[in-house]
Amino acid sequence: MEKQQNLLEIKHLTIQYVTEGEVVHAVNDISLTIPKGKTLGLVGETGAGKTTTALSILQLLPKFTARIPTGEIWFDGENLLEKNEARMRKIRGGRISMIFQDPMTSLNPVLTVRDQIAEVLKLHRHDLKGEALDQEIGRLLEMVGIPAFRMSDYPHQFSGGMKQRVVIAIAIACSPELLIADEPTTALDVTIQAQVLNMMRRLRRELGSSMLMITHDLGVVANICDYVAIMYAGEIVEYGTVEDIFDPERKHHPYTEGLFRSIPNIYVESHRLQPIDGLMPEPTNLPQGCMFHPRCPHCMERCTVPCKTAATDGDGKAQIVEASAPTVVEGTHSIKCHLFAKEGEPA
Ligand SMILES: Nc1ncnc2c1ncn2[C@@H]1O[C@H](COP(=O)(O)OP(=O)(O)OP(=O)(O)O)[C@@H](O)[C@H]1O
Ligand code: SF4
Ligand SMILES: [Mg+2]
């Protein structure tokens, strides 16, 4: 098998929000990779830490409340967490761009669509001026299915679905190597959702970009993603190719099983996540041991305490560290759960 080159590698990332003396443990020691040209779906119920993870990649977390005690975010060989604001400004909207969770508010109501796309292009593509700039704006709009002549319209002259296409046109204006899409279709009705997703899939093919697709919707994941990470209480509890995650013959994390059980037929239409019985723990007061143990039908005594597990450090050396539960890796598929830990291994 050919070794894939990773465009993004998140290593042991932990993010906390500190407010009024309370610590919100939003992201807890996650590691993720996105190979070049591939799409990773980040799935999890509300409050799991998906948006926090995405914002950290672009250094867009709130300056005074968010802190990152550990972790590295490698993008094309550089650790983004070590970049200063001036360097990040060059990357944002250029090499990495993001479609935010509430896209309707990311358009400026007093600027024409042309001027909003021009703003991004001028920042990152200084060569484009005059006629060539307008031609490029027209080309981008047509890529997302909007006729070029509508560039002089204002956002309120477009429907919800078209506004979302404009947001996507802005996000792809500089042919980003990585496109982060935070619930890009949640605010749209179902038929428009399908159109926007088809368009994103086509764009990815045409631009060859990698994508981080954040969603509640397993239908979206099945349709558009190559890899899937299931996030729960700030942790990645299961990770694999879309085939690994959707294979009913394979073993899965009890949380993933719950998600799938709540959906009759994933391939038929788009469904939102139905929460499993019980609630996700408060991120200010996480349980000891496996984060899922208060809700897990298979909970054992060892699940309720931290465990010792083997991990590799930055230099690739194996060491024994404390974790909420052991991570078991089988090829492209990994599961963080005691049920799959082999006998005789530290757990
Ligand atoms: N600025 C902030 N200050 C304090 N806590 C925050 C802040 N932003 C997010 N949180 C908390 O961090 C946790 C993770 O939030 P995040 O927005 O990353 O979740 P999410 O998975 O994107 O959820 P959703 O599906 O609802 O968008 C939540 O408990 C949330 O309340
Ligand atoms: S580690 Fe234990 S409690 Fe956690 S998901 Fe696995 S079986 Fe359930
Ligand atoms: Mg979110």
Write the pLDDT tens digit of every residue in 87-96.
999 999 889 9
CATH architecture label of 2-95+174-284: 3-Layer(aba) Sandwich (3.40)
Q: Is 15 in the pocket of ligand 1 (CB under 6 A)?
A: no
Which tens digits make up the pLDDT trace of 289-306?
A: 999 999 999 999 999 999
| Cα of 118 from ligand 1 centre, angstroms | 32
297 CA from centroid of ligand 2 (Å): 8
Give SS3 for 232.
strand
Q: How would residue 124 be classed by pLDDT, with cut points 50, 70 and 90? A: confident
Q: What is the mean pLDDT of residues 138-144?
A: 90
Q: What is this structure's pTM?
A: 0.91
Q: What is the pLDDT of residue 264?
A: 54
**What's the rounded mean pLDDT across residues 265-283?**
65
Does ligand 2 have an atom closer than 6 angstroms to the CB of 305? Answer: no
The predicted model gives 48-74 an average pLDDT of 96
Residue 174 or 1, more confident: 174
Residue type, 127: D
Say whether pLDDT at 344 is over 70. Answer: no
Q: What is the chain's mean pLDDT, rounded?
A: 88
Residue nearest to atom 27 of ligand 1 (CA): 46
Under the banding of pLDDT at 50, 70 and 90, the label for residue 198 is confident
Name the band, by pLDDT with cuts 50, 70 and 90, for residue 347: very low
* 38 secondary structure, DSSP code: -
Task: Give the number of residues written for the chain.
Answer: 347
**What is the average pLDDT across 72-84?**
96
Q: Is the CB of 46 under 6 A from ligand 1?
A: yes
**Of 182, 188, 149, which is closest to residue 165 (Cα–Cα)?**
188
**Which secondary structure element, helix H or strand E, spans residue 190, and what is its range?**
helix 190-207
**Per-domain residue ranges for the chain?**
2-95+174-284, 108-170
* pLDDT above 70: percentage of residues in the chain: 91
